[in-house]
Chain A
Amino acid sequence: MNLLSQLHFAKAAELLIPSLLSGFGVVIKATIFGFLLAIVLGMVIAIGRLSQLKPIRGVLYLFLELIRGTPLLVQLVYIYYVVPLLLNLLAGILGFKTDVQIASLTAGIIGIGINYGCYMSEVIRASILSVDKGQTEAALVLGLGKYEALFRIVIPQAFRSIIPSLGNYLVMMVKDTSLLAYVAVNELLLRTQNFASQTFLTIEAYTYLALAYLIISIPLSHLIKYVEYKLKTN
């Protein structure tokens, strides 16, 4: 094979794979914290949008439009580069001299968590609305409060129905952590870029990178299908 003899997969593996393995740690960290943030934010937005108070609904709706109308990559860059500048500028106007900076991973987690939280809030809201109103009423007439009924009776039922779609968001989020490379998070893509530019083993490096994502996302999506199946059969 002429092609293979010109490529150096073994050499690339030797140098790149240990780096990718430490990159896995970053990806997992970003995904876990990003997803937790997204779930909490998604719940807060979903419940807020079901509120009887119009101003709360209005503000949340505007926020959703803002986030859904701009790309995740732009949001990440904005949080990492622009927000600190704005804060410093603002402090300067007030007469303080500051040098606020956001650690790149923190910025990445916040950005991805907010973005996913907004999309997930719609799924969560729809699932809460899809629970039969009779469930809330049954809880209320037993003397439970409005929030007890929501959190203990309605939301547990709602969550059962959305575990599959939350799972899909999780898999998407793992892949989207590659965008964090643009805010200097040393995850898989950034490591691969650096490696390729130093060694010129471009084909080998990016092939390994693609494989690395597959190694995470394929088992993860099967795990989610399995959980979904278990939930259905129970």
Chain B
Amino acid sequence: MFSIFNLEKKYGDLEVLKDISMYIGEGEVVCIIGPSGSGKSTLLRCLNLLELQTGGKIFYYGKNIDAELDTKKLRREVGMVFQKFNLFPMFTVLKNITYAPMHVNKMKKEDAEKLAMELLTKVGLADKADVYPVKLSGGQQQRVAIARALAMNPKMLLFDEPTSALDPELVGDVLAVMKQLAADGMGMVVVTHEMGFAREVSDRVIFMDKGYIVEEGTPDKIFNNPENPRTQEFLARVL
């Protein structure tokens, strides 16, 4: 779906992404790992134009996302889940999920609500439909955020450290939902520090450091036989 060529991103003089080239296939689960500050979030955010690249090209189904594609259309098809959930606090859980389908996709209220209930059931929170987000635990909020993204019927989801803001005992519930999504064939790009998840679920793992893709390959290759010394060093620290 995404072909990235020589992507580069600078903030002023600070080069955050350097010469990133990669491909993301339909239905593929790609995990991006690496030390903090290595540019993982920025890469993800360039894919849905939350950040504007300063060099290189990104194609989405063959179309240059900068020039040939309607940004809103791209974002409808490529959903995103944030580290800090970012649920809308003034809406109930149900309305958080139905809002975009109704206002962006012009879905009828009853259809949107039916869809929302199905998705809430899927993430195990059907009983929370009428609750406001503040009343939920972090893990529950993140599962609602996933349901909200799914309600747009995306082709792919981007996750930026979806479990990093959670208490350790709540991480499992969110990862379980994500594993189920992967099993259902949803394409996902996941920036994560959960190495167990990356090893178990991903088709491909990408290791980034200092703005470069240092190494990529199957989970088996990256976790069991990393070639690059920087990868080895990083994994030695986190595993």
Residues 143-158 of A, flagged 1 when their CB comes within 8 A of B and 0 if not, give 1110010001100110
Say whether A71 faces chain B, with CB atoms less than 8 Å apart: no
| In the complex, chain A residues 10-24 whose Cβ is within 8 Å of any chain B Cβ | none
Say whether A142 faces chain B, with CB atoms less than 8 Å apart: yes
From B28-36, B76-84, B184-192, B195-203, the one touching the partner chain is B76-84
**How distant is B102 from chain A, measured CB to nearest CB, in Å?**
11
Say whether A29 faces chain B, with CB atoms less than 8 Å apart: no
Say whether A4 faces chain B, with CB atoms less than 8 Å apart: no
User: Are B104 and A143 in contact, with the CB atoms below 8 A?
Assistant: yes
Interface residues on B, range: 20 to 34
Compute how far the CA of A153 lies from the CA of B103 in the bound complex, rounded to whole angstroms. Answer: 12
Q: Which of B48, B73, B84, B103 has the most CB of A within 10 A?
A: B103
Task: Tell me which residues across on chain A come within 8 A of B99, comparing CB atoms.
Answer: 142
Nearest chain-B residue to A144 (Cβ)? B104
Residues 29-55 of B, flagged 1 when their CB comes within 8 A of A and 0 if not, give 000000000000000000010100000
Task: Tell me which residues across on chain A come within 8 A of B89, comparing CB atoms.
Answer: 157
User: Are B103 and A144 in contact, with the CB atoms below 8 A?
Assistant: yes
Task: Tell me which residues across on chain B come within 8 A of A144, comparing CB atoms.
Answer: 72, 100, 103-104
Compute how far the CA of A134 lies from the CA of B75 in the bound complex, rounded to whole angstroms. Answer: 15
**How distant is B117 from chain A, measured CB to nearest CB, in Å?**
19
Task: Tell me which residues across on chain B come within 8 A of A134, comparing CB atoms.
Answer: 82, 84, 86
Contact partner of A143 among B72, B84, B87, CB < 8 A? B72
Task: Tell me which residues across on chain B come within 8 A of A65, comparing CB atoms.
Answer: none
Contact partner of B100 among A142, A156, A157, A160, CB < 8 A? A142
Compute how far the CA of A204 lies from the CA of B50 in the bound complex, rounded to whole angstroms. Answer: 66
Say whether A223 faces chain B, with CB atoms less than 8 Å apart: no
Task: Tell me which residues across on chain A come within 8 A of B105, comparing CB atoms.
Answer: 143
**How distant is B41 from chain A, measured CB to nearest CB, in Å?**
11
**How distant is A86 from chain B, measured CB to nearest CB, in Å?**
46
Say whether B148 faces chain A, with CB atoms less than 8 Å apart: yes
Say whether B174 faces chain A, with CB atoms less than 8 Å apart: no
Say whether B90 faces chain A, with CB atoms less than 8 Å apart: yes
Say whether A140 faces chain B, with CB atoms less than 8 Å apart: yes
Say whether B223 faces chain A, with CB atoms less than 8 Å apart: no
Compute how far the CA of A156 lies from the CA of B88 in the bound complex, rounded to whole angstroms. Answer: 11
Asked if A145 meets B72 with Cβ closer than 8 Å, knowing A134-B84, A137-B50, A137-B82, the reply is yes
Contact partner of A138 among B76, B88, B103, CB < 8 A? B88
Compute how far the CA of A137 lies from the CA of B89 in the bound complex, rounded to whole angstroms. Answer: 14
| In the complex, chain B residues 136-192 whose Cβ is within 8 Å of any chain A Cβ | 145, 148-149, 152
Residues 122-148 of A, flagged 1 when their CB comes within 8 A of B and 0 if not, give 000000000010110111111111001
Compute how far the CA of A132 lies from the CA of B84 in the bound complex, rounded to whole angstroms. Answer: 11
Asked if A135 meets B88 with Cβ closer than 8 Å, knowing A141-B48, A141-B79, A141-B80, the reply is yes
Asked if A137 meets B103 with Cβ closer than 8 Å, knowing A142-B148, A143-B75, A143-B152, the reply is no
Compute how far the CA of A152 lies from the CA of B90 in the bound complex, rounded to whole angstroms. Answer: 11
Interface, chain A (partner B; CB < 8 A): 132, 134-135, 137-145, 148, 152-153, 156-157, 160
